[in-house]
Every structure is written in C-alpha cells, then in structure tokens.
C-alpha cells in the first residue's frame, strides 16, 4: 500500500487535489462539495464544455483511456473517483498503480455488467437476505428457445451500457422476445422476469477505507420512461420493517464488496412486501440529490470524505424532502423546437424550493438539465410544493 493510500488527506494543505473521471453534472456537484471542504478538483473528460468544466480547478480534456492523461491525473491527484459506471475499469486500474482510487476498478466492473451484478447479488444473499429478479442470460437465438415459460412477460436488457431506460425492451411472448433480441443486433442481453411491483426505492450508503459504513434514509422513487421523475424521503409507502431490511442489505453488500465511497442500490418492493435487488451505481446517484439540501452531509461531500480517508459524515436528514428531476422537455411547447426559458422565478417563489441547474449548454428532450428539491416541515407539504412546481413548469404531476 503506497503512502497516498495510508494517510488521511489534509484539505487545507496547498495543492491537495481530488480527481474525478467524468465531467457531467455529478462531477460538477462533486467539485462544488470537495472545494467547499478545501480541496482542489481535477476532471478528466473528453468534452471541453462539460458541466464539470465550469466548476473544476483543472480539466484534462482527453478520452477516458488516454494513457498520457491518466498518468498526469494520477501524478496530480491524491485520490481519484468516477462519476459514472461506464468509465473504463482498466483506466481506473491504471490510475490505481500510482494513486488511491475509490471505488476500485473491481467494484466498478461489477456494476458495468448486469450479469456480473446479478451473480454478485446472489453471492451476497446469504448476508443481505435479498436476491435479484429471476433472470436468464441471452447470448444467442438458442438461449431464447430455452427460456422458461415463467420468465415471461419480462424485460430484455443489454448486459452493458444501458441507463435511463435505454437498452431495454418489455416483452410479453417468446416471439416478442425473439424480435427484441434481433433488434439488439446480437448484443449480450439478460431477460428479467416482470414482477408485481408496488414501488421502487434506492438506498444510498457509503464506506470508508477503514471499514466504517453509513446508510442514508430510504428514498422512494417514481420513474417515467425509464428516467427518474421524483424522489421522496422519507418514502410515503415503505414500512419501518422494509426500510430496516433494505438498509441492512445495502450495508451487507457494500461490506462484501470491500467498497470505498458512495454506493447506491436500487430495490423493488413487491406487492407482498418482499425486496428484490435491481441494480447498483458505484457513485453518487440522481436519487441521492436530496441529501444536498435535506441532510447534514450530502452524498458528494461523503464521496470526498471517503476518497480523502477522512471520517464519514453524519447522514441524518433534518427535513422531509421531495425532489423533482428537470428534463429538457420543459424548454419546449408541444412539437415546437424553439426553446424558451422556464419560469424559474415562480418555482423559486414556492416555500422550501432549492433549484439546481447543471450548466448544460443546450436543452434537449429527455436530457437531465437539473433538479428542484423541496424541503418542508412535513413530507405532505414538500410533495404539495412539488406538485405546484409541476403545474408551473407544465409537467404532468
């Protein structure tokens, strides 16, 4: 273990740099949190005008596999993380030869592959008590012939690179499955059985290099077209028993991985109250944005603490919160392609409104442009103000 791995970092020391692979909105929010603690932040990202470039102290504008840029990043930074799971695990491994990387390449690689992820959830089940949905790997037409009847209807998903509803198709029959697989053009896939879903939750946890672990309050999520629409915390439907089980499962999983950093695990809660592990994100997560305004320690500050081998922060939630994802659709009316600025003044006039825009250079339909978190004395008040914001922005509530 090298010196960078052994010692906690001093955020007030001149030239203490933290690095992040990826320059999207998560990298931008990480930069803000790390800088607040006194660190300087370097970003490695191919796009020169990425959201994080406006916040970072330094931008390495290069591909994620660029050997020279990776070398410079490792020399510059006392620790490096990633803001999205599809960065090359090999790049993270190369960085780890010369600096501390959290989470590790091995942990990220599990989340990059849906089959590896499911195998890992199964391996953890003895401790976590939670399994993934019934599923079957699809690598050929012959695999479709051997799909058990009780796996249909199901969801066919690409094993790699799918996110926000991309790379997945719902299928009811074997013929539909066959057509969907043909449309995937030979991609490695997995078929998951559709289950009687009551609602979806996500559990945000964090683990330090010293083994200290913390878990945030449970977030209840609503998705539209595969993209997160709202997050409500505390979740209005989850029972104390289910919440405790989900938090314990997340802590068991993060411990078994030997993970360092912030990890988000999404679970399905079925109509009978049972939990199913859906997927995990080895980074701060869209559903954890509420922590910026409603918790003592945000998920981004927590990531910086874990990277710097500092004590993890207090995860207490001081206010009920309801978060609304803002997509580029609200910049456009009907089928018009002419963009107009949403009525942010009216949104900000609502009690407890906290607006976060991501600095993206143009709005596009279905593109994540920002979020608004409403905090209030009660969750009902926060939800009501979220509904009012939807009305202002023209979003069906």
Q: Write out pLDDT tens, residues 267-278.
A: 999 999 999 999
Check the annotation: does 340 bind a ligand: no
pLDDT digits (tens, 9 = 90+) for 192-242: 999 999 999 999 999 999 999 999 999 999 999 889 999 999 999 999 999
Find out whether 256 and 123 touch, Cβ atoms under 8 Å: yes
Residue 64 has pLDDT above 50, yes or no: yes
Residues whose CB is less than 8 angstroms from the CB of residue 309 and which lie 6 or more positions away in sequence, other chains included:
7, 8, 9, 79, 100, 208, 209, 210
Name all contacts of 245-250 with Cβ < 8 Å and 24+ positions apart: 245/129, 245/130, 245/275, 246/130, 246/201, 246/203, 246/218, 246/275, 247/203, 247/205, 247/215, 247/218, 248/128, 248/129, 249/128, 249/129, 249/130, 249/203, 249/275, 249/277, 250/128, 250/203, 250/205, 250/215
How many CB atoms sit inside 10 A of residue 286's CB?
Answer: 20
Check the annotation: does 22 bind a ligand: no
Residue 4 has pLDDT above 80, yes or no: no
Query: What is the model's pLDDT at position 1?
Result: 39
Check the annotation: does 60 bind a ligand: no
Query: What is the model's pLDDT at position 3?
Result: 42
pTM: 0.95
Mean pLDDT of the chain: 94
Check the annotation: does 278 bind a ligand: yes
Of 2-16, 103-117, 323-337, the one with minimum mean pLDDT is 2-16
CA distances from 329 to 77, 208, 358 (A): 38, 39, 15
Check the annotation: does 279 bind a ligand: yes
Query: What is the model's pLDDT at position 40?
Result: 96
Check the annotation: does 245 bind a ligand: no
Of 2-16, 99-113, 295-309, 351-365, the one with minimum mean pLDDT is 2-16
Check the annotation: does 95 bind a ligand: no
Check the annotation: does 163 bind a ligand: yes
Residue 2 has pLDDT above 60, yes or no: no
Question: Residue range 115-135: average pLDDT?
Answer: 97
Check the annotation: does 314 bind a ligand: no
pLDDT digits (tens, 9 = 90+) for 66-97: 999 999 999 999 999 999 888 999 999 999 99
Check the annotation: does 162 bind a ligand: yes
Higher pLDDT, 257 or 10: 257
Check the annotation: does 195 bind a ligand: yes
Check the annotation: does 369 bind a ligand: no
Q: Which domains does the chain have, with CATH numbers?
A: 3-101 (3.40.50.20), 134-193 (3.30.1490.20), 197-393 (3.30.470.20)
Query: How large a percentage of the chain has pLDDT more than 90?
Result: 89
């Amino acid at each position: 273990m090298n010196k960078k791995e052994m010692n906690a970092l001093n955020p007030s020391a001149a030239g203490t740099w933290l690095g992040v692979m990826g320059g999207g909105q998560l990298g931008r929010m990480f930069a803000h949190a790390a800088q607040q603690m006194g660190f300087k932040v370097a970003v490695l990202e191919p796009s020169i005008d990425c959201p994080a470039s406006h916040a970072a102290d330094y931008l390495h504008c290069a591909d994620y596999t660029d050997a020279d840029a990776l070398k410079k990043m490792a020399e510059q930074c006392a620790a490096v993380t990633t803001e999205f799971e599809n960065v090359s695990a090999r790049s993270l491994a190369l960085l780890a030869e010369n600096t501390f990387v959290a989470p590790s390449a091995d942990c990220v690689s599990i989340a990059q592959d849906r089959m590896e992820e499911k195998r890992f959830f199964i391996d953890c089940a003895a401790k976590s008590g939670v399994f993934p949905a019934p599923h079957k790997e699809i690598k050929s037409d012959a695999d479709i012939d051997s799909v058990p009847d009780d796996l249909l209807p199901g969801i066919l998903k690409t094993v790699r690179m799918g996110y926000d509803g991309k790379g997945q198709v719902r299928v009811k029959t074997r013929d539909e499955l066959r057509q969907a697989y043909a449309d995937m053009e030979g991609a490695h896939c997995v078929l998951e059985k559709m289950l009687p879903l009551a609602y979806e939750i996500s559990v945000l946890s964090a683990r330090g290099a010293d083994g200290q672990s913390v878990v945030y309050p449970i977030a209840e999520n609503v998705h539209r077209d595969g993209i997160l629409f709202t997050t409500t915390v505390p979740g209005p439907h989850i029972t104390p028993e289910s919440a405790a089980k989900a938090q314990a499962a997340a802590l068991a999983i993060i411990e078994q991985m030997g993970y360092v950093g912030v990890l988000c695990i999404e679970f399905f809660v079925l109509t009978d109250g049972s939990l199913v592990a859906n997927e995990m994100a080895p980074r701060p997560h869209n559903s954890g944005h509420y922590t910026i305004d409603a918790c003592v320690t945000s998920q981004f500050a927590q990531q910086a603490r874990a990277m710097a081998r500092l004590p993890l922060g207090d995860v207490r939630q001081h206010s009920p919160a309801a978060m609304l994802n803002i997509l580029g659709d609200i910049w456009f009316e009907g089928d018009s392609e002419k963009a107009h600025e949403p009525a942010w003044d009216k949104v900000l006039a609502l009690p407890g409104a906290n607006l976060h825009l991501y600095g993206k250079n143009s709005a596009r339909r279905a593109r994540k442009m920002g979020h608004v978190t409403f905090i209030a004395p009660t969750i009902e008040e926060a939800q009501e103000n979220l509904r009012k914001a939807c009305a202002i922005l023209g979003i069906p509530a």
